[in-house]
Structure 1
Amino acid sequence: MKITRQLQGFALHIADRLIPVKPVVRPIQELNTLERESRRMHLYLATNCPSSISIKRHCKRLGLRVVEKDVRRVDAFLNELVHGGGAPRVPCLRVDGDKTSDWLYSPEAILEYLERRF
């Protein structure tokens, strides 16, 4: 089962590189607001994780420029994830507020938050 998930992740990674995502067309004022809001979000992901790839593509489709942090490439990102969120699981979306940060781990919860917010 782990091998099929790895193969699926590898295939999705290749498809993500080859097939571009067309973002939603929005007015310029809304794009400026999205730019400010999306810089407060950090997406912790793994390159070959199918859930991470789908969340990343969904963010691009919405026109969000979230900060992407690959935990398999940079150990500091993994440390941030473990110390801040409490678990070394990807995908994880960190939303920085004024005083606190919210950590969303479930792909369903991340998609629900993005659809509700944007």
Structure 2
Amino acid sequence: MTIDSKNLQLFHFNYCPYCIKVRAALKLMGIDIELKNIHESEAYLKELLQGGGKKQVPCLRIEQDGHIEWLYESDDIIHYLKKHLAG
């Protein structure tokens, strides 16, 4: 199953080492998704807390067929991106 990158958002902040790891993987795979820095926007932090239930980053928000999933852990996020988007 493939997913459109427009249906993905990465909640992160600049100096989190796990976020850096995921952003580097995105760059290496040539994947462009929306990045939401929770330290630059109170609205992004609120969205993460309300949707995902915790402040932990990185967090990948996946929307598919009207269903929303919140995926935590850098290695899990990278694995998901490789499986569904990397070409």
TM-score > 0.5, shorter chain as reference: yes
Stretches (4+) displaced over 2 A: none
| Structure 1 residues not aligned, in runs of 5+ | 1-33
Output the amino acid matched with 1:110: I
User: Residue by residue, what CA displacement relative to the aligned partner does 1:18-55 show, whole Å, maximum 9, x if unpaired?
Assistant: xxxxxxxxxxxxxxxx9x81111100001110110110
d(CA) in 2 for partners of 1:64, 1:111: 11
Output the amino acid matched with 2:51: G
Please say if 1:38 is aligned against 2:5.
yes
Output the amino acid matched with 2:39: R
Q: 2:40 aligns with which of 73, 83, 90?
A: 73
Q: Once the 2 structures are TM-superposed, how far is the Cα of residue 114 of structure 1 from its aligned partner?
A: 1.1
Corresponding residue for 2:65? 98
Corresponding residue for 1:49? 16
Output the amino acid matched with 1:60: K
Report which of the two has the higher share of helix: 1
| Structure 2 residues not aligned, in runs of 5+ | none
Please say if 1:83 is aligned against 2:50.
yes
d(CA) in 2 for partners of 1:62, 1:101: 23
Report which of the two has the higher share of strand: 2
d(CA) in 1 for partners of 2:6, 2:27: 13
- Between the aligned residues of both structures, percent identity stands at 32
Corresponding residue for 1:29? none
